[in-house]
Chain A
Amino acid sequence: MTRVFIPLDTTALSLGAEQVARALQAASAARNLDVEIVRNGSRGMFWLEPFVEVETSSGRVGYGPVRAADVDALLSAGMLEGADHELAHGPVEEMPWLAQQARVSFARVGVIDPLSIDDYRAHGGFAGLQKATTLGAQTLVDEVKASGLRGRGGAAFPTGIKWQTVLDAQAGQKYIVCNADEGDSGTYADRMLMEGDPFALIEGMAIAGLAVGASQGYIYLREEYRQAEWVLGEAIRLAREAGYLGDHFELEVRLGAGSYVCGEETALLESLEGKRGMVRAKPPLPAIEGLFGQPTVVNNVLTFASVPFVLAEGSAAYEAFGVARSRGTLPFQLAGNLKTAGLVELPFGARLRSLLEDFGGGSRTGRPLRSVQVGGPLGAYLPASQWDTPLDYEAFAELGAVLGHGGVVAFDDTVDMLAQARFAFEFCAEESCGKCTPCRIGSVRGVEVIDRIRQGQRREENLIVLKDLCDTMVDGSLCAMGGMTPFPVRSAIEHFPEDFTER
């Protein structure tokens, strides 16, 4: 029997993976071939999706992008023996795009069958949880502190310190909440992990439960991620059957409903409680008064998924990656106008230029790249002169930029940066929870002022108005929605002033 891997990942499906799986099933039946199709996660080489891997005696061999119509020819060419073909890429682990990465959080994604507990265990899964059950709560929290793990949702807050606060809080009920809202454009790492290695998230959340004394967890998943919803549902069921979930720790998936601000942790908690996603004033911190007023850990998908490694391999192994205060690895997500876009997990400290050129392969349109937005819709636009900045939290902060959740969206030289700045305000106006005036009203005013500049009305004066507006939003907003919308706007004006003219 030959095992063939065809991803069940959303992007692979969006390019026809389901049709390829069906075609292979039919063709192998017709040819009397003994083939087992495994639906894996994606390796994150999306320009090659649907990417089909064949298990051979000398390792896994990859083919892609495969269309359903290619299947017959591939079988005839000897795909099941790993034979050469114009779609063949040789041994997958040796493909330079993958081999040059440090896959820690994504070590299993694309490799294993995401819905096989045996496969997960065979690749080190549940070793962290097993170890955690032998340690006391304080030791667990100490271990997470020592790893230097910082939240992956964007704010980069030290995870161990957050857990300590929840551990120290006295309450009858505590909660573990996973932020799987992944609203930033250009990001998909949470989705890939949930679809490709869901037990890692489940294990991380169960360890968090032990560490702080919480027996109930919720995964707040954005509504747009229906495939992840299905995979998580299956994985939770399997984990429950195997005894990893149950009375000691239960887990439920709850769907968001298309609101970006509900990715902000307190708005998320309001939403989980069945309310409008209004941001809460802090204090009290969610760690003290969180879901239904109880002490709550809120962490991003990748934060939780990093925890099993920290426990199983020890905090020192995790801390060994990275630079300065940015420890570990960060999965970057290449998006927008790039030729070979996908998931690139690297230790902190790599250069943006290397992501764009070495991994991204330059623009897909073939035109020169001009502007890159890093860290989602609230992240700054960087011009080419800044592409050699090391990718770490502090170096980006110095530029008035953010790494955020690691999204990298590239634009070629046809981009109109005034339109991008206008969009930042428009998005803020659309998604603002409405609590603060500078965010709610300022964003609408921002759109109007930019339109005036485009119409050629008093450019210099309106640029000053825009600058004041940005200052007011930064100073007078409760959360980063209003407080960071000025980042893309200011960077666009500063680095691309030639676009802020009449057209």
Chain B
Amino acid sequence: MNVEQEPTVAEVIERSAGMPGALLPILHDLQEVFGFVSDEAVVQIAHALNLSRAEVHGVVSFYHTFRRKAPGRYVVQICRAESCQSMGARALEAHAQQALETKTGETSADGRVTLEPVYCLGNCACSPSIRIDRDVFGFVDEARFDELMESLS
């Protein structure tokens, strides 16, 4: 079997460090590989890009996408924007919190699902919409939400 070695933080940083405006591409790459941006990574990025730690931290915390803690096995995002509101997204989010026994912004006790808000997925003709990791789902009512959650391992 060919087991691919997970790259180290330093290797991930190295990939993009030379490009103009490298910080966001690096943060995306790190999050893609590790699921979040660790304290250790912030230190290494600061060093590689010749920035202060505070500067790097300031950027990471400005953007909703970047996480500072490891997420659950799946990240489930529920759209909170107007189009989805008009089709019951507020109730769907309440249902999701109940079904997963967690709060938006937190991870279920079994470590399976992190529930996050998202402001528009560009899927507005089929509201309400949710995203599971990178996949978008449309016309998600409570029953469909439960089905989708059950299909996750």
Which residues of A does B touch, CB under 8 Å? 10-11, 13-15, 44, 46-47, 49, 182-188, 190-191, 222-227, 254-260, 271-277, 292, 333-338, 341-342, 364-365, 373, 377, 407, 409-412, 415, 420, 423, 427, 431
Apart from A182-B122, A188-B122: 9 A-B pairs, beta carbons within 8 A: A10-B136, A46-B125, A185-B119, A187-B122, A292-B21, A335-B83, A373-B82, A407-B124, A420-B85
> Is A336 a contact partner of B82 (Cβ separation < 8 A)?
yes
Q: Binary interface profile of B, 109-123, with partner A (CB < 8 Å = 1, else 0)?
A: 000000000111111
* Contact between chains at B83 and A259 (CB < 8 Å): no
Q: Which residues of the partner chain A approach B24 to less than 8 Å between Cβ atoms?
A: 254-257, 271-272, 274
In the bound complex, do residue A336 and residue B83 qualify as a contact, i.e. CB atoms below 8 Å apart? yes
Binding stretch for chain A, among B6-14, B68-76, B100-108, B127-135:
B127-135
Partner of B62, one of A277, A334, A412: A277
Using known A-B contacts A185-B81, A224-B131, A336-B87, determine if residue A257 contacts B65 with beta carbons closer than 8 Å. Answer: yes
Asked, given contacts A225-B122, A274-B59, A427-B119, whether A336 binds B86 with beta carbons under 8 Å apart, the answer is: yes
Cβ-neighbour of A274 out of B22, B82, B125 (below 8 A)? B22
Asked if B58 is at the interface (CB within 8 A of a chain A CB), the reply is: yes
- Whose C-beta in chain B lies nearest to the C-beta of A410? B86
CB A372 to nearest CB in B, in angstroms, measures: 10
Contact of A276 among B62, B65, B139 (CB under 8 A): B62
Asked whether B126 lies within 8 Å of A272 as measured between CB atoms, the reply is no
Docked CA distance A260–B84 (Å): 17
**Residue of A13, A14, A190, A415 with highest tally of chain B CB at under 10 A:** A14
A227 to B84, CA, bound (A): 20
Q: Are A257 and B64 in contact (CB under 8 A)?
A: yes
* Chain B nearest Cβ from A342, distance in angstroms: 5
A184 proximity list for chain B (CB < 8 A): 120
- Closest A-chain residue to B59, C-beta based? A276
* Contact present for A186 and B83 (CB under 8 Å): yes
A185 and B65 contact, CB distance less than 8 A: no
A-B contact pairs, 28 of them (CB 8 A): A14-B129, A15-B138, A44-B125, A183-B119, A184-B120, A185-B119, A186-B124, A188-B123, A188-B124, A223-B65, A226-B134, A254-B25, A257-B64, A272-B21, A275-B23, A276-B62, A292-B20, A335-B86, A335-B125, A336-B86, A336-B87, A341-B126, A342-B125, A364-B87, A377-B82, A415-B86, A420-B82, A431-B119
> CB distance A10 to B122 under 8 Å?
yes
Task: Tell me whether A336 and B21 are in contact (CB under 8 A).
Answer: no
Question: In the complex the two chains form, is A409's CB within 8 Å of B86's CB?
Answer: yes
Complex CA gap A372/B139 in Å reads 20
Q: How far is the CA of A224 from the CA of B118 in the complex (A)?
A: 9
B81 proximity list for chain A (CB < 8 A): 185-186, 377
Query: How distant is B50 from chain A, measured CB to nearest CB, in Å?
Result: 12
Q: Do A185 and B124 contact each other (CB < 8 Å), given the known contacts A224-B118, A255-B24, A337-B86?
A: yes
Q: Which residues of B contact A411 (CB under 8 A)?
A: 86
Chain A proximity of B133: nearest CB distance (Å): 9
Q: Which residues 127-153 of B sit at the A interface, judged by CB distance below 8 A?
A: 127, 129, 131, 134-139
User: What residues of B have a CB within 8 angstroms of the CB of A415 in the complex?
Assistant: 86
Task: Give Cα distance in the complex from A336 to B119, angstroms.
Answer: 14
| B27 contacts chain A at the CB level, 8 A cutoff | yes
CB < 8 Å neighbour of B136 from A13, A272, A273, A409: A13
Selected from A15, A257, A373, the residue in CB contact (under 8 A) with B27 is A257
Query: Is the beta-carbon distance between B58 and A46 smaller than 8 angstroms?
Result: no
Q: Which residue of B lies closest to A225 (CB)?
A: B122
- Write the chain B residue with the least CB distance to A269: B21
**Is the CB–CB distance between A258 and B64 below 8 Å?**
yes
**Contact, CB under 8 Å: A46 / B126:** yes
Q: A183-B120, A257-B27, A276-B59 are in contact. Are A11 and B21 (CB under 8 A)?
A: no
Q: A274-B24, A275-B59 are in contact. Are A260 and B82 (CB under 8 A)?
A: no
Residues of B close to A13: CB separation below 8 A: 135-136
B34 within 8 A of A: no
Chain B residues near A191: list those with CB within 8 A. 122
With most chain A CB atoms within 10 A of its CB, the pick from B64, B66, B82 is B82
With a cutoff of 8 Å between Cβ atoms, the chain A residues found around residue B23 in the complex are 274-275
Q: From A372, which residue of chain B is reached at the shortest CB distance?
A: B86
Interchain CA distance A500-B118 in the complex, whole Å: 27
Q: Which residues of chain B come closer than 8 Å to A47, judged between CB atoms?
A: 125
Task: Tell me the smallest distance from the CB of A106 to a CB of chain B, in Å.
Answer: 14
Distance in Å: Cβ of B134 to nearest Cβ of chain A = 5
Q: Shortest Cβ distance from A289 into chain B, in angstroms?
A: 16
Let me know if B120 and A185 touch, CB within 8 A: yes
Instruction: Specify the chain A residue showing the minimal Cβ separation from B116.
Output: A258
CB distance from A489 to the nearest CB of B (A): 13
Measured CB to CB, the closest approach of chain A to B136, in angstroms, equals: 4
Bound Cα distance from A23 to B68, whole angstroms: 40
